[in-house]
């Protein structure tokens, strides 16, 4: 398996398990997360903040 595939596999496993630290470990400091028309985030810290907000809403809405 290539390094890129290993990284994506690790990221997806972290996502399925809800392991935020594992997800962040797959990202570079200059990661870009863009949803056209919705938001454009740059950097691991921005990604982390948005992901934390999404987790809080999932719990609040009981969407485990």
pTM of the model: 0.69
Q: Please enumerate in sequence order all residues whose Cβ is within 8 A of that of 21, keeping only pairs 6 or more positions apart, or say none.
A: 14
The H or E element spanning position 11 is helix 3-17
Q: How many domains does the chain have?
A: 1
* Chain centroid to CA 20: 7
> 10: domain range?
3-60
Tell me the per-residue pLDDT of 13-63, one tens digit each, with 9 for 90 and over. 988 888 889 999 999 999 998 888 888 889 998 888 877 656 655 544 454
Token readout for 54 is 């999404």
Give the HSE-up count for residue 58: Cα atoms under 13 Å, Cβ half-sphere.
9
């Amino acid at each position: 398996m290539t390094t890129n595939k290993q990284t994506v596999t690790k990221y997806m496993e972290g996502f399925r398990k809800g392991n935020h630290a594992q997800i962040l470990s797959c990202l570079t400091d200059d990661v870009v997360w863009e949803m056209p028309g919705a938001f454009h985030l740059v950097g691991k810290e921005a990604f982390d903040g948005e992901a934390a907000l999404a987790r809080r809403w999932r719990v609040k809405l009981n969407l485990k």
